[in-house]
Amino acid sequence: MAPTASTVGIREFHALGLCKALDEKRQPGPACSPAPRQGLRQAEQPDPEEQVMPEVVFVSTLEPKDGRRDELVELLAELAKHIRDEPGYLQYSAYRPLGEDKGPLLVIQRYTSLEAYQEHSSWARGQAARISELLATPPVPPVLFEPVPLGDDAAK
């Protein structure tokens, strides 16, 4: 059985090193979900000549430490300069709760394929410590999404 978007997202989360980096400095309380025993598993891939790999969307939530949200936003902006030059990049953006200057940030990344996202993840692993030092809690485990055909061009 192929992994769900949630299990792929959790594996990617561990691959980025964010759980480990944050769990090492956490206070007692719930930790990230256990690390997978093996590396990222992919769903069975169709023959490339039969189907084009759809774009993927990666969504994560980051809860900054009190008083460090601006630093986190600055770091994300710095990382965005590199990310936006990566092959397969489509979108990298961060969102805050409407009208709030505090609270979590929702980060959305879109790539042309799972392979492009995995290539990005190889680089992003080296940024995990910089991000985690600005976070109050481990991020909500990110989820990797793929398009759902709805009978129109939106999922192509």
Whether 130 maps to a domain, the answer reads yes
- What's the domain count of the chain? 1
Whether 19 maps to a domain, the answer reads no
Whether 68 maps to a domain, the answer reads yes
Decide if 28 contacts 50 (C-beta within 8 A): no
pLDDT at 94: 95
Computed over every residue of the chain, the mean pLDDT equals: 74
Q: Residue 59 above 50 pLDDT?
A: yes
pLDDT at 156: 55
pLDDT at 6: 39
Whether 57 maps to a domain, the answer reads yes
**Residues belonging to the chain:** 156
Residue range of the domain that includes 80:
53-146
Q: Residue 71 above 80 pLDDT?
A: yes
pTM: 0.64
Name, in order, each residue with C-beta under 8 angstroms of 64's C-beta and a sequence gap of 6 or more.
71, 72, 104, 105, 134, 135, 136
Q: What is the CATH number of the domain that holds 67?
A: 3.30.70.100
pLDDT at 123: 85
- Looking at per-residue pLDDT, the higher value among 88 and 125 belongs to 88
- Looking at per-residue pLDDT, the higher value among 39 and 104 belongs to 104
User: 102-113: per-residue pLDDT in tens?
Assistant: 889 999 999 999
Confidence grade of residue 51 (pLDDT, cut at 50, 70, 90) = low
